[in-house]
Chain A
Amino acid sequence: MPTATNADDSDPPDSDGVQIDLISGERMDSMATMEKIRMILDGVHDGNIVILEEGLTPDEESRLIEVTMSEISPDEFNGIEIETYPKSETRDSSLLGRLMGSDETEAKLTVIGPANQIETLHKDETLISALVSRD
């Protein structure tokens, strides 16, 4: 998708490489919701895997789904795969976190990629693995 440009001015990926964008929490902090979503989807449109150190808030996730849907186009863009991995482990402690009212600030590593290029995005307690096809 040649029109999409990435937020940083990095070169577009060559034809047979897979670019991974690792975005720090610090960088995300200074961005507005739509800027974050634009940055993610521009990266994904270019075929990149985008990794967010601190993930998105629930509201931002909901908007990401909405904007993703509006950009799906037959034979061009099928949408995204997304997986998150909470840093402050286990369901029980996140329940505790919720009871203590700290759920929304919980940082969670998030991996996002183009659905048509990621064949499996597998996740368990300690691992997210993505199989990326190059074409």
Chain B
Amino acid sequence: MGLFTELKDSISRVTDRLFSEQEPKRIGIYGPPNAGKTTLANRIARDWTGDAIGTESHVPHETRRARRKEDVEIERNGKTVTIDIVDTPGVTTKVDYEEFTDEMEEDDAIRRSREATEGVAEAMHWLREDVDGVIYVLDSAEDPITQVNTMLIGIIESRDLPVLIFANKIDLDDSSVKRIEDAFPQHKTIPLSAKEGENMDEVYENIAEYFG
């Protein structure tokens, strides 16, 4: 009897561990274009694995394919959580290539917009099928109440995915974390600057706690 329970316990411990090692939670980094998703993904990846995920740019739709960084082990207060980070293309309901023609040749702008639309569709697909949790990144210097944000948060909630809201770019003068907290009071908001590395301790604490 005792032996049997012990055996059962140790088997379930082993399978637990096997399971968690084979399937780290996939955390999707979502948000509108230019919010700083890739900057954040790169900082997390650099801090815990040493290399980066993708390119950052002031031109929207820099990320046009979802990119995954596997087995990122984050340790906080004795708690370790292993996650896959998925950096996704910024979601929007419209793409106009003429927005990029100041920055590049028309051909490149058209190609960028075409890739961007595919990327957004891909990001939506990942959200419906392939992520276990979401970090929703917002530029805290911008108005958070947009249709895209409301819709995406609604989609995330309807799938019962755990979500943390990251109020990014707090180094900017126009930044307002409160505006974001007021817009989405049902979720936890964490202020940070992904670019300057401000408040990353609280970021990692929350990731470990929330997605662990």
Contact = CB atoms under 8 A, between A and B. Distances in A.
Interface of A: 57-59, 61-63, 65-66, 68-70, 72, 74, 78-84, 91, 95, 98, 103-104, 115-116, 123
Given A65-B91, A123-B147, 8 more contacts: A57-B158, A66-B120, A66-B124, A69-B121, A79-B93, A81-B94, A82-B147, A104-B158
Interface of B: 91-97, 110, 113-114, 117-118, 120-121, 124-125, 127-128, 147, 150-151, 154-155, 157-159, 183, 185-186
B117 A72 contact: yes
Nearest to A64: B93
A80 B94 CA distance: 6
B147 A79 contact: no
B124 to A, nearest CB: 5
Contacts of B147: 81-84, 123
A81 B93 contact: yes
Given A65-B91, A82-B93, A91-B185, A58 B113 contact: no
A59 B155 contact: yes
A95 B92 contact: no
Contacts of A65: 91, 93, 120-121, 124, 151
B96 A78 contact: yes
Query: Chain B CB within 10 Å — which of A66, A98, A103, A116 has the most?
Result: A66
Nearest to A98: B186
A67 B158 CA distance: 20
Given A62-B128, A69-B121, A98-B186, A115 B157 contact: no
B96 A116 contact: yes
Contacts of A103: 154, 157-158
Nearest 4 CB-CB pairs, A to B?
Answer: A79-B94, A58-B158, A115-B94, A69-B117
Contacts of B124: 62-63, 65-66, 69
9 contacts: A58-B154, A58-B155, A65-B120, A65-B151, A69-B121, A79-B92, A80-B94, A104-B158, A123-B147
Contact of A95 (B151, B155, B185): B185
A2 B113 CA distance: 23
A116 B127 CA distance: 27
A70 B117 CA distance: 7
A123 B149 CA distance: 14
A61 B155 contact: yes
B91 A74 contact: no
Nearest to A68: B93
Nearest to A112: B93
Contacts of B93: 65, 68, 79-82, 115
A69 B118 CA distance: 7
B186 A95 contact: yes
A12 B204 CA distance: 56
Contact of B128 (A59, A79, A98): A59
